[in-house]
Amino acid sequence: MRILHLADLHLDTLFAARSPELRDRLREAGREVLRRAVSLAIEREVDGVLMAGDLFDGRRLSYRTERFLLRELERLGEAGIPFLYCTGNHDPGQGIAGSGRIEWPDHVELFDRPQPRTVELRRDGEVVGTVTAAGHAVAHEADDLSTRFPSPSSWRDSQPAESGAPDAVGPEGQAGAGLPAVAMLHTQVTGAGGAADHDRYAPSELPNLRRAGYDYWALGHIHLREALERLPGIHYPGNPQGRSPRETGAKGALLVELPGAGVAPSVEFVELAPVRWERLEVDGLRAATTFDEFIGIVGDRWRELRAEDPGLPGTQWIVRLVPVGASPLAAELDHPESRRDLGDEIARTLDLLGVELRVEGIRSTVDPDQYRERRDPAGLALRLLAEAESREGTAALIERIGLDPAELAGFRDAPESDPSGYVRRLLGGGLGARILIEHFRREGESP
């Protein structure tokens, strides 16, 4: 049996925080990834496409996306491939736009109840295996639904099988003892890699999944691709299209080949996402004294990365650029306008869909220690700023020199009850020191 395992497509995500252009592009990418998955399923002649929950992002489903989805499902249907879809926390039950209003074609198996149901997959009329699945009926499913899954032995053993011959009585009468059994569920497995980033809906335990008797668990919910176990196969495919700067790297689906009951499935990742998010950390910026030189270094680093992992032809990239270490441009990059201009220029130069510049990790090329030791007001100012970096330090500073935060801010009424927090925000974050040091540096350079 061969299946294509997808999850967490989140069709019609709003992307409210993005620009209108990016929003449209990302929604289009969600549809495109579905089209690619359907083409892949047809090309590789799978026996079923499994969508392990969160096909939709929420109640809102545009007419355009709905039509698109039904057209793509039709393509699958014409190829004789069933689409098995269990609901998740984003698209639970019957009331939601997707699973409730859509008239699903006959080759779609919707699992929207917490009670598992088993269906058979066929190839040329012959049963090749089973898929057992349960869905979320409510948005905040707190139960471990995996414990409700029946053991495949309940149908495998219902008739004595002759040396594993696939002729025992199955859920509908045919699935045999030697045939692979797949389980599908939208669940947060305790301890999975990306678990900290996701809400604990329908939590399950890995040891339980291991001994449930299935050959493969097609999981959904955690957006990070992860193999939790090889035998039985227990896999998160991750979402097939990244939705935020944290969802980086190649994204797609898993092609799973199941030779038979009790045999390790072979699992192949196939990249599908037309838009990829990446984080690019760049150091060694000390020599770049102009924006052009800065862009040159970033470009070299970007091309190195893409040589290792070029992505699919035509992939579009959204890059979170994180320069780190000493840079002569540190002070200039404190200005939001400079950051925006530089980001735009990098996007143009490297042909990227978007660049977000995060400059918290850079500092001035001047060593603050050499100034901090000076026995003059500049040195004193830097020492005070260093002290103001910590909560305790700021409190001690205020106390020692009898500092009135309201005075410091230039008005009478203290803006809040926590004066040390206020002073720390005024002086802290390294900004005050950076501005001072940059000032010294320029002073030193001018004739």
In the complex, which residues of this chain contact Mn ion (CB under 5 A)? 54, 88-89, 221
CB of 142 to Mn ion, least distance (A): 14
Burial classification of residue 22, based on how many CB atoms lie within 10 Å of its CB (0-12 exposed, 13-18 middle, 19 or more buried): middle
Q: How far is the CB of 27 from Mn ion (least distance, A)?
A: 18
Write down the residue that tokens 């090749």 correspond to.
128
Kindly compute the dihedral angle of the four CA atoms of residues 240, 245, 246, 250, in this order, to the nearest 10 degrees: 40
**DSSP annotation of 11:** B
Q: Are strands 2-6 and 252-257 parallel, antiparallel or unpaired?
A: antiparallel
Q: How far is the CB of 309 from Mn ion (least distance, A)?
A: 27
C-alpha distance across the termini of the chain, in Å: 78
Rounded least distance, CB 54 to Mn ion, Å: 4
**How many angstroms separate the CA atoms of 210 and 217, rounded?**
9
Measured from the CB atom, the residue of 222 and 330 that comes closer to Mn ion is 222
Q: How far is the CB of 90 from Mn ion (least distance, A)?
A: 5
Tell me the C-alpha distance between 37 and 3, whole Å: 12
Distance CA 18, CA 354 (A): 10
Residue 171 or residue 220: which is nearer to Mn ion going by CB? Answer: 220
Residue 146 or 394: the one with the smaller Cβ distance to Mn ion is 146
Q: Which is nearer to Mn ion, 206 or 435 (CB)?
A: 206
| Shortest distance (Å) from residue 116 CB to Mn ion | 18
- SS3 of 352-420: the string is CCEEEECCCCEECCCCHHHHHCCCCHHHHHHHHHHHCCCHHHHHHHHHHHCCCHHHHHCCCCCCCCCHH
* Smallest distance from Mn ion to CB 303, Å: 36
With 0-12 / 13-18 / 19 or more C-beta atoms within 10 angstroms meaning exposed / middle / buried, residue 3 is buried
Q: Which is nearer to Mn ion, 112 or 278 (CB)?
A: 112
Least distance between Mn ion and beta carbon 195 (Å): 12
In the complex with Mn ion, the residue whose CB is nearer, 197 or 300, is 197
Judged by CB, which is closer to Mn ion: 7, or 359? 7
Structural tokens at position 99: 């699973």
**Amino acid symbol at 255:** L
Q: What is d(CA 97, CA 92) in angstroms, rounded to the nearest whole number? A: 10
Shorter beta-carbon distance to Mn ion: residue 55 or 388: 55
Q: Which residue is nearest to Mn ion (CB)?
A: 221
Say which residues have a Cβ less than 8 Å from residue 293's Cβ, sequence separation at least 6.
287
Q: Decide whether 12 or 120 has the Cβ nearer to Mn ion.
A: 12
Residue 430 phi/psi, 5° resolution?
80, -5
- Minimal distance in Å, beta carbon 184 to Mn ion? 14
Best CA proximity match to 352, nearest among 321, 317, 323 = 317
